[in-house]
Structure 1
Amino acid sequence: MPGRTLTSRLYERQLGETEVSYFLPSREDGVNDMYLHLGFRALPHIARRSRVSLVWAILRMRHPLLASGVKMTDYNDVKFVYETPSTKEDALKKANENLEYQFLSKEELLNSYLNGPRTLSSERSSYLILSQPTASPGITPSTTPTGINGHNTHAKHTNGNEANSTRNTLNGDEHAVHKQEYDLLICATHYLGDGMALHQFAHDFFTLLGNHTEGELREILQEEWETRCDVELEPHCALPPALEHRLPASPSGDFSRMAARVDFSANQGKLVGGHSFPRCHGNKRHTIVPTVSFDEERTKKILKSCKAHGVSISSALFAICSISWAKTTDAKWDLPIMMYSALNLRPYLFVERPISDSYWFLSIGYFNVVLPTFLPKLEDGDLHKTFWHRARKAKEQSTNAAKSRMIISRSRLMAEERGARARVWAKEDDDKAAGRRKAPTKAPVPVDPGKVVSKPPSAALMGLSLLGNLDGIYKHDSFPDIQLHTLTTGSRQRAGGLLLFGYTFVGKLWVSLGYDQNGFDRAVIERFWYNVLGSIDELL
């Protein structure tokens, strides 16, 4: 419009307690900064920077937290700050500033992200890296592009203007062009969202990338800017609300609040665990992610076996870890093993008014699984019976956590506890960094030894991130000219970090162990990982 002055708009909102619990520890070195690596094959024009940057710009406008920074005034005043792009060209410019092309292998990408200088910051909450490690000559000719199941999908792109436009982008004879190998690394801070957001985003990214010409993407970009940036939005629609504002309201009244706290305390008191990996201190953190996949035929057999015993692969992996640890250690078999995992709270969200349609927000709770450590006498069939029994107990505990009628109040109280704890630790870290002395610790008050009640140990052996069947999120037929074949995910860890991942992807079961190689007794953790893989072979 002639003479019109275009300006950006500024939106802010406070971080919720769960978001704060992830933001504060991330400030120094990016603890919990997430990544998702996807290996794929595609024709060169599909992965061209001009095309990828358009998709990235579109998705940054649809999901504004990806383009937001964080402003912290004090520990109780931490805000997301989102400045809308003033034009679609501005949106594209900002997307390109947060997009990098490389020629690194998957291993080099992950090592740099996990162990090098931090990629993200309070000002940069997300980042994309696309790498082409090799030219990959001889891979599927473009004359017969195939989908993930090998079906010829060329017909979809050989009619009307779309076919002509696609051919024009090849800049040459399409019969001479071959698919190339690429690695995509999606980076995002954990206080922006969770694994469900990360994977849904990747699916949407490839759907846009694989089904539109650059001209069409430019039209979509313009439409998104006009809808989301060229109008004044209500604050609650501009940025997705925090988890605590999406959960159903807790019952009011002093009695209800007291009952919720008693339940929360009692539930936490059940968490008994007497095992942890022996640690090494003082070494520089170095995270590695050994990953193993099982072929489709083997995966089908594993899933069929789990189904026959009434459990999911997720429940089975809890049991695998308990058996593997028992094979690794010979101490404290009288104490149970405790493992923790994330609980997806999205099914419980409730809203009374229209809000942002973005799925990029953090929506997780937490639960624990406690299993015995001891192994039965190694007689025929005993170990298998014990394993499946523990898998069913893991399923029972997971189900009880997810279906408890107290899940809302427990999630709220856990968020409050984690937020308060994060603030205390953040102040301690900041005081230490600033050289401020701590107040002297008060001497303990003598107590009557006869009245001391010993508290059971509550050590967690490890965490498990069990993502389920990711092929339910990645609709591979939605982008038939892009062939996804590899997926690895995780986060930057603190010293001594450890997390096991399990999921199915492109019909295969994948298991990976992300851990600080210098933070543990190396012989113990390597023996445990060997036992995990051996137990899967033996018991599944």
Structure 2
Amino acid sequence: MPWILLPNGTYQRPLGDSEYALFSASHSGNGDMFLHLSLRASANCFSRERVGIAWALIRRENPLLMSRVTIVNDEPTLYFAPPRELIQDAQATLMFNHKSKEELITAYMDGARPLSNDILSLLTISESATGEYQIFMCAPHFCGDGTTLHVSTHELIRLVTSSQTNEQLMQKLHQPVEWIEVLPPSLEERLRIPGSQFAQAACKINYLQALNKEFASHVLPRLQRAEKCTGFIEREFSLEKTASILAKCKAHGVTVNHVLTALATIAWARCTSQPFDLPMMLYTAASLRGHLIPHHPTTSDTFLALAYFTISLPAFPPSGTTGVWHRARLAKKQMQNAVRSPLLPARAVLSAASRARRITNPPPTSLPTLSLPGRPEHSKALMGISLIGDLDRTYRRHEYGPDVQLLSVGTASRLKPGGFLLLGHSFGKKLVLQLCWDKMGFVDGEIERFWTQVASEVDEISS
């Protein structure tokens, strides 16, 4: 459904299936995203007034950040009321403090949920005693993905460090807006899906074939020992080691994402005592932004546009580095087949419909009437892995003002008990691995042992 302009000047639309499938978990904060970025910059760049104007501009360009969720006829609905004062509206979701990176992440991941159906975005600026600034931005997963937060954070840095005065930025803020053209439709409205019955049947068959290939048995040893306590650790590789890894990946015809996928499974194979008779499976996501219908006028980057798929690799550990590169090529083939498939948008729509149906009874009116089975019985994913790639393409440093030094960046989502997510990206030409997990949700020491093994595997291929 598109956005509807109501007589009182407000706008609303029902959640799409992809959004709805993530909305239910958000009541307890599960899935709420955060982005943390640390940098050095001039103090005047991060004055309350200047950050407030920049945050208001970002929210103006991404009105989903200013929206809320209401229940209309028992159906969750996005509702947007254009604020009379953009600055005041932005200030209400902007905080300043002096907390460390660790304090910001811990409070967000394990404390009371700061977001709600009425607050879909928050920004915190923290200044440390050493003069570093921490940018901490968050939003629920149903209204965005990693791209949303990274692009918004880049824009924030670009605005606050620019040579434009506060008065010049205010002039941009007061320019008229046609909200109906800026508000993003649901993902399902923006994907080009075959319309004929024959084509839809072919898409369903392809979706079922993809499900039937999800045949694996390895799982992490979960054991909820106490209340959830989230751990977040990272390993940054040096410029020299990163350059060596990238060169070797290129020589073997793979990318660093392909080899990290393979190494995650190899690391677990070398840690576990589970049998190797069935494959090992990871689940991950691909961006659908390149598949959107191009003629919609919205320029907002705040919307959910993900397709989920799995990668199955042999469970037994390979012998030597030759086997590692072979596993990486197997991962490459599966990832390319999924991402490059012209049927990826249709599979994403069918998958979202299936996940949304499992949440509700009766289903939302936007769900198709065809029968969609779940995954096969022996379809156990080991873990989720998020590989967003080269973030230097997003954080275009030449667009920032002088004396800006970006130090680190990381994203993750609030976990449910027993949650686990392995992440990887490059930033400042350095490879970064991050692990986010419930420290009380697993057999004591197992996840730490796995993390050590992953780092060891990366070190080995770089030597």
Question: What TM-score results when the alignment is normalised by the length of structure 2?
Answer: 0.92
Contact 1:243–1:362 (Cα < 8 Å) also in 2: yes
**1:70-469 equivalent positions in 2, closer than 5 A:** 70-73=69-72, 77-86=75-84, 90-134=85-129, 136=130, 180-211=131-162, 212-223=164-175, 227-228=176-177, 233=179, 235=180, 237-253=181-197, 255-281=198-224, 283-352=226-295, 354-376=296-318, 382-423=319-360, 457-469=378-390
State the Cα deviation string for residues 403-448 of structure 1 (Å, max 9, x = none): 1232222111111111112325999xxxxxxxxxxxxxxxxxxxxx
Change (3 A) 1:261 1:296: same
Query: Shift of residue 359 of structure 1?
Result: 1.5
Contact 1:9–1:83 (Cα < 8 Å) also in 2: yes
Contact 2:307–2:345 (Cα < 8 Å) also in 1: no
Q: What is the rounded CA distance, in whole Å, between the counterparts of 2:385 and 2:258 in structure 1?
A: 11
Contact 1:501–1:513 (Cα < 8 Å) also in 2: yes
- The counterpart of 1:492, out of the listed 414, 417, 421, is 414
Q: Does 1:501 align with 2:423?
A: yes
User: Match of 1:529?
Assistant: 451
Change (3 A) 1:248 1:62: same
Amino acid at match of 1:182: Y
Amino acid at match of 1:275: H
Query: Shift of residue 538 of structure 1?
Result: 1.0
Change (3 A) 1:532 1:424: farther
User: Match of 1:472?
Assistant: 393
Q: What is the rounded CA distance, in whole Å, between the counterparts of 2:83 and 2:72 in structure 1?
A: 25
Q: What is the rounded CA distance, in whole Å, between the counterparts of 2:282 and 2:361 in structure 1?
A: 25
Amino acid at match of 2:381: A
Runs of 4+ residues over 6 Å off in structure 1: none
User: Match of 1:17?
Assistant: 17
Report the 3-state secondary structure (helix = DSSP H, G, I; strand = E; otherwise coil) of the residue aligned with 1:182. strand
Query: Shift of residue 268 of structure 1?
Result: 0.3
Q: What is the rounded CA distance, in whole Å, between the counterparts of 1:250 and 1:305 in structure 2?
A: 41
Query: Shift of residue 246 of structure 1?
Result: 0.4
Report the 3-state secondary structure (helix = DSSP H, G, I; strand = E; otherwise coil) of the residue aligned with 1:474. coil
Query: Shift of residue 399 of structure 1?
Result: 0.2
Q: What is the rounded CA distance, in whole Å, between the counterparts of 1:221 and 1:385 in structure 2?
A: 56
Q: What is the rounded CA distance, in whole Å, between the counterparts of 1:498 and 1:74 in structure 2?
A: 36
Contact 1:37–1:183 (Cα < 8 Å) also in 2: yes
Residue ranges of structure 1 left out of the alignment (5+ in a row): 1-6, 137-179, 377-381, 428-454
Q: What is the rounded CA distance, in whole Å, between the counterparts of 2:448 and 2:276 in structure 1?
A: 20
Contact 2:31–2:140 (Cα < 8 Å) also in 1: yes
State the Cα deviation string for residues 83-115 of structure 1 (Å, max 9, x = none): 1122xxx21111111000011100000000001
Q: What is the rounded CA distance, in whole Å, between the counterparts of 2:294 and 2:261 in structure 1?
A: 34
Amino acid at match of 2:332: K
Query: Shift of residue 527 of structure 1?
Result: 0.9
Q: What is the rounded CA distance, in whole Å, between the counterparts of 2:393 and 2:443 in structure 1?
A: 38
Amino acid at match of 1:331: Q
Q: What is the rounded CA distance, in whole Å, between the counterparts of 1:16 and 1:25 in structure 2?
A: 15
Contact 1:8–1:84 (Cα < 8 Å) also in 2: no
Contact 1:70–1:80 (Cα < 8 Å) also in 2: yes
User: Match of 1:62?
Assistant: 61
Q: What is the rounded CA distance, in whole Å, between the counterparts of 2:441 and 2:389 in structure 1?
A: 28
Change (3 A) 1:391 1:100: same
Residue ranges of structure 2 left out of the alignment (5+ in a row): 1-6, 365-375
Report the 3-state secondary structure (helix = DSSP H, G, I; strand = E; otherwise coil) of the residue aligned with 2:274. coil
Change (3 A) 1:383 1:8: farther
Q: What is the rounded CA distance, in whole Å, between the counterparts of 2:441 and 2:185 in structure 1?
A: 37
Q: What is the rounded CA distance, in whole Å, between the counterparts of 1:131 and 1:277 in structure 2?
A: 36
Report the 3-state secondary structure (helix = DSSP H, G, I; strand = E; otherwise coil) of the residue aligned with 1:273. coil
Amino acid at match of 2:298: S
More deviation in 214-223 or 386-395?
214-223
State the Cα deviation string for residues 241-277 of structure 1 (Å, max 9, x = none): 1100000132312x33322222211210100111001
Amino acid at match of 1:44: A
Amino acid at match of 1:272: F
**1:16-55 equivalent positions in 2, closer than 5 A:** 16-27=16-27, 29-55=28-54
Report the 3-state secondary structure (helix = DSSP H, G, I; strand = E; otherwise coil) of the residue aligned with 1:350. coil
Q: What is the rounded CA distance, in whole Å, between the counterparts of 2:98 and 2:377 in structure 1?
A: 52
Query: Shift of residue 351 of structure 1?
Result: 4.4
Higher Rg: 1
Q: Does 1:512 align with 2:434?
A: yes
Contact 1:52–1:209 (Cα < 8 Å) also in 2: yes
Report the 3-state secondary structure (helix = DSSP H, G, I; strand = E; otherwise coil) of the residue aligned with 1:328. coil
Report the 3-state secondary structure (helix = DSSP H, G, I; strand = E; otherwise coil) of the residue aligned with 1:361. coil
Amino acid at match of 1:113: Y
Report the 3-state secondary structure (helix = DSSP H, G, I; strand = E; otherwise coil) of the residue aligned with 1:530. helix
Q: What is the rounded CA distance, in whole Å, between the counterparts of 2:230 and 2:73 in structure 1?
A: 31
Q: What is the rounded CA distance, in whole Å, between the counterparts of 1:461 and 1:290 in structure 2?
A: 19
How many residues in Structure 1 have an aligned counterpart in Structure 2? Answer: 443
Q: What is the rounded CA distance, in whole Å, between the counterparts of 2:121 and 2:161 in structure 1?
A: 22
Question: What TM-score results when the alignment is normalised by the length of structure 1?
Answer: 0.79
Report the 3-state secondary structure (helix = DSSP H, G, I; strand = E; otherwise coil) of the residue aligned with 1:46. helix
Q: What is the rounded CA distance, in whole Å, between the counterparts of 2:105 and 2:362 in structure 1?
A: 28
User: Match of 1:3?
Assistant: none
Identity %: 36
